[in-house]
Amino acid sequence: MFKRSDLATLIDSETLTKRIGELGEEISRDYEGKDLAVIGILKGSFVFLADLVRAFDIECTVDFLGLSSYGSATTSSGVVKITSDLTTPIEGRDVLVVEDIIDTGLTMRYLLDNLQTRRPNSVRICTLLHKPANARCEVPIHYKGFTIDDHFVVGFGLDYAEKFRNVPYIGYKR
């Protein structure tokens, strides 16, 4: 276990805000005039998703899907569990999945396969962080905030054993 004072800053709040604004503009252009359903992956994406959709100049709906492959560990178990499902259908809609971090890719691959069975018009991924060093499968990332090295990161919605989600920057243990 570690404390907040053990954290080093990887990406500061100002840099996060600027990049999320840029992503919001890009997504708004790409989805202008479309029926966009934004799906946030709980729990880690909630801070990023809130800032991202506020940066949109388009209409969208927001829903959440709970997935887990970490539990309270610092590495993915590779076993994905749906902990909370969507509340509205996505059939025929353009879907944007918003994720906090893509690490091994296994969770996202599972999710993409699951969402395709629900017959959406399209599915794209937006992730705040991408950690390619741990990739075990390829997933198409359409919108990416930052590519990071192999650190276990917390803050801005990301957690360690459900703690540190409220840290206003991306940090890692020194």
97 closest CA partner among 72, 74, 120: 120
Residues noted as catalytic: 103
Give residue 6's identity as a one-letter amino acid code.
Answer: D
Which residues, other chains included, contact 155 with Cβ-Cβ below 8 Å and sequence gap of 6+? Answer: 7, 164, 165, 167, 168, 169, 170, 171
CA angle 33, 63, 70 (to 5 degrees): 130
Angle between helices 13-30 and 46-54 (to 10 degrees): 60
